[in-house]
Amino acid sequence: MPPKPAVSEVIRCAVKTNRLGKDQINVFYVKGTFPGDFGAFTQANLDAVSAGVFTAFHDQLLVQLTTDTNLVECLAVDLSSVTGLTSLHTGSGAGGLGGTAMPSNVALCVSWKEALHYRGGHPRSYMGGVSATFLADVRHVTTSFAGIMQTAANNFRTAVNAIASPGVTSFALVGVHYTLGKVPRVPPLVTPVLTASVNTRLDSQRRRLGK
């Protein structure tokens, strides 16, 4: 399979958590804005983003997951070329919620909203480590907990957008769209994430149900 097309000035961040011996990965994209029309990331930029996304996830999202959810690492990759720089930030941290944990395949979906006026293709994150304490019924969490998670997701976006590193004017959480109607986009479309939304319905890590 050929590599995906380059995405100028964008960093892919894969955040790994582990529950009950099983890894779970959530991918986020961060765009850098440079003083001129174009810039190139340095290793220091990649290190700042990998550490910043790790910390934002730890401080905002991890605390809403069960105590058996462990944060492991954030791998940042410069998508500007197939030989782009990488940065691996490792650390530790456990979820902040007690109570009976739902099975590892159960997740709560965070939908990241962009200014795109069509269905499908919008970025989502699936948070494992849902506490049964906040169940409204077997298929839904309570409205109040969905609201708490939505606030946490928006705080995560704010924290990512606040990452700073010399040579880069600003960073922003974005969505990257490689295809439209199964047709490749070259170059891929990059759009800023405007806000987050969390539905009360529980999803499956295996069969991700979408909105």
168 — pLDDT class (breaks 50, 70, 90): very high
CA separation for the pair 6, 190 (Å, rounded): 12
What span, in angstroms and rounded, lies between the C-alpha atoms of 145 and 159? 21
For the chain, the structural domain boundaries read: 10-204
Total residues belonging to the chain: 211
How far apart are the C-alpha atoms of 170 and 106, rounded to whole Å?
Answer: 35
Quote the DSSP letter at residue 131.
B
In sequence order, what are the beta bridge partners of 140?
137, 201
Q: Is the peptide bond before 187 cis (omega within 30 degrees of 0)?
A: yes
Q: What confidence tens digit (pLDDT) does each residue in 31-71 have?
A: 999 998 788 999 999 999 999 999 999 999 999 999 999 99
| Listed residue (168, 115, 124, 157) closest to 9, CA to CA | 168
The pLDDT tens digits of the residues spanning 124-159 come to 999 999 999 999 999 999 999 999 999 999 999 999
* % the chain with pLDDT above 70: 94
